[in-house]
Structure 1
Amino acid sequence: MLELKNICFSADGKQILKDINLRIDDAKFIVITGPNGSGKSTLARIISGILTPDSGQILLDGEDITALGITERARKGISFAFQQPVRFKGVTVKDLICLASGQDLSTADACQYLSEVGMCAKDYIDREVNASLSGGELKRIEIATVMARKTKLTLFDEPEAGIDLWSFKNLIDVFEKMHEEIQGSIIIISHQERILNIADQVVLLSAGEVKQIGTKEDVLPGLFGMETGCRYFKGGDE
């Protein structure tokens, strides 16, 4: 479904990604992991269209989408959840969920998405998506909007950031339910072992290169062998 061919990217005179080749088949749950500074978030932004690679190709269902921006890729079925969610002054939570779904949802239907990410819907559905919300609240609202979109390819950049321990456990259930119900591919940038546990495939990135692709059991020894790898897997909050 998604194929990256020889992707390279540099910024400020430093090469961030080096000749990345990666294929993600339909309905797969993929986790991209690796030490800080390995290029994980950059790769997610290139897949979503926020950044354009210096060279290489991105193919979606065989179509070259390398030159397309984030809006055009969203129309083709790619969703992206930021590590730090965006605030929207004057936009309510219900407005945002309806916009994401492309439908004029009833309040009950919109509330269902909030309930699935562990939020008391009646306390949030009419609130503005602004600075009055905490980072963890914004993160869960953003995940609810991504669920409402039901796209064939969804990317999450460190979705556990700012999430408390109870919500983190709930988050795992949300991802498993999304994968089962939508039957689309999910790519998560993460270094949490409990997220790796539910992945079909784990991609280990280091120094801008794909070092290994396999199951969690295949990849973890390589990560722990890296100088800073061991400090990533503490579970829950960091």
Structure 2
Amino acid sequence: MLELKNVSFEVSDEKAQKEIIRGINLKIDDNKFVVITGPNGGGKSTLAKLIVGIEKPTSGQILFNGEDITEKSITERAKMGISFAFQQPVRFKGIQVLDLIRMAAGRRMSAADACQYLSEVGLCAKDYINREVNASLSGGELKRIEIATVLARGTQLSVFDEPEAGIDLWSFQNLIQVFERMQEKTKDGSILIISHQERILNIADEIVVISAGQIVNHGPKEEILPQLLGTSSAVNMCDKFNK
């Protein structure tokens, strides 16, 4: 499905070029749940932006279903079947939640159908379906609404950048169930999540560990997760990486 070939990404600062992603090679097959994790500042979110087309690689190739999409825009990639949920969701003044879900799905749907997607992410649909997607919504509410739009799209590759950010404990537990249901329903599609959270890592098929812009480990969850957790299953992933 998705393949990155020797992908690098540089940015310019006042003194020199800074390499954020360094020669990454990664392949994500159909029907896989993959979590990318690693220390803060390691390049995880940048890699997600390269995959969905927000940023363009300085060098290397990105292939989707065998087609080179390196130079394609985020809109072109979306039409091909790649969706993205931002770490900090965007507000849309003047657009109601119902309209946003319909636009994401790319089809006319009833309010009842749209409400189902809101319910799946732990929102009381009747309280949100006609709300405007503006500053009146909290970060956590916006995050869940954005995830609902990704569910409504049902794309071949769904990319989530730290979906747990701004989510309260109850909603996080519900979010895990959402991903588990997505995993069960997925036939040829795949899910790619950027996360530190052990509970999300624990439902992955594969884990990719990125540090200093490079992949330092990649393999089945059963192999990689014990290495990340060390000898104690009680280790908090965020604390561990931030030490």
Same-fold status (TM-score > 0.5): yes
Count of residue correspondences: 230
Q: Is the 8 Å Cα contact of residues 20 and 212 (structure 2) preserved in structure 1?
A: yes
2: CA distance, partners of 1:30 / 1:213:
10
Which residue of structure 1 aligns with residue 136 of structure 2?
Answer: 132
Q: Does 1:196 align with 2:201?
A: yes
Q: Following superposition of structure 1 onto structure 2, how do residues 21-170 of structure 1 map, counting pairs within 5 Å? A: 21-170=25-174
Relative to structure 2, which stretch is displaced further, 2-11 or 181-190? 181-190
SS at 1:191's partner residue? coil
2: CA distance, partners of 1:198 / 1:156:
15
TM-score, scaled to structure 2: 0.91
SS at 1:211's partner residue? strand
1: CA distance, partners of 2:229 / 2:119:
36
2: CA distance, partners of 1:217 / 1:186:
18
2: CA distance, partners of 1:221 / 1:14:
33
Which residue of structure 1 aligns with residue 186 of structure 2?
Answer: 182
TM-score, scaled to structure 1: 0.93
Cα shift at 1:38: 0.6
Give deviations 1:110-131, integer Å, cap 9, x for gaps.
Answer: 1000001010000000000000
Q: Does 1:20 align with 2:24?
A: yes
1: CA distance, partners of 2:50 / 2:184:
26
Give deviations 1:22-63, integer Å, cap 9, x for gaps.
Answer: 000001000000000110000000000000000000001110
What is the RMSD of the two structures over their aligned residues, measured on CA atoms?
Answer: 1.4
Q: Is the 8 Å Cα contact of residues 207 and 224 (structure 2) preserved in structure 1?
A: yes
Q: Is the 8 Å Cα contact of residues 151 and 182 (structure 1) preserved in structure 2?
A: no
Which residue of structure 2 aligns with residue 9 of structure 1?
Answer: 9
1: CA distance, partners of 2:56 / 2:140:
29
SS at 1:119's partner residue? coil
What amino acid sits opposite 1:212 in the alignment?
A: N
Gapped runs of 5+ residues in structure 1? none
Q: Following superposition of structure 1 onto structure 2, how do residues 197-236 of structure 1 map, counting pairs within 5 Å? A: 197-220=202-225, 222-223=227-228, 232-233=237-238
What amino acid sits opposite 1:170 in the alignment?
A: N
Cα shift at 1:176: 1.1
What amino acid sits opposite 1:171 in the alignment?
A: L
2: CA distance, partners of 1:86 / 1:111:
20
Gapped runs of 5+ residues in structure 2? none
